[in-house]
Amino acid sequence: MVTSLMLSMTTMANASPVNSDSQNQNVTQVTEEKHIPSYMKPNSIPKEYLMKIETTNNILDMAQQFMGVPYVWGGSSPNGFDCSGFVQYVYRNNGINLSRTADYQALEGEPVDKEDLQPGDLIFFAGDYVNVSHVGIYVGDGKMIHASSSKGQIAYDDLSNSYRVAHYHSARRVIAK
């Protein structure tokens, strides 16, 4: 949906009116041809929403660049990450400052219900079923990217796997609405 929204906006932005009188007619023609509702015209989409999309995409792109980087307990650099060091590094490099450890990161932002997860949300797990001990970044489609101690590297993981289901603790949204 984001891709089609951005594609539609690009298509409309590239429509060039012949003169100022035909500008409204031209936008109407593009809208009718592409079946784009009037509320989705570029000027009607709040700048904050577009910035959120860009920030989320940048975070997910950056996180993916570290696939395969080794898991290192206490690591917080591209030479090696632990889970919270990975999250802190990726978000800090996208203008969002977070605490260093997963238990404190779990207190930041706004709580999110599991069924309302959006890409870029932080997902927390409790190895002992009580205390937060792990964090990952939700990427969509029931998956997250994280510094996995069991895989020994930055990797994707499915939230439906039995361990993730049993140890799920909470989720937080730290990207501005």
Q: Which residues belong to the active site? A: 83, 134, 146
| Beta bridge partners of residue 153, listed in sequence order | 70, 148
Neighbours of 118 (CB within 10 A): 13
How far is the C-alpha of 83 from the C-alpha of 153, rounded, in Å?
A: 10
Give the span between the Cα atoms of 44 and 7, in whole angstroms: 15
* Phi-psi map region of 115: left, alpha, beta (phi>0 left; psi -120 to 50 alpha): alpha
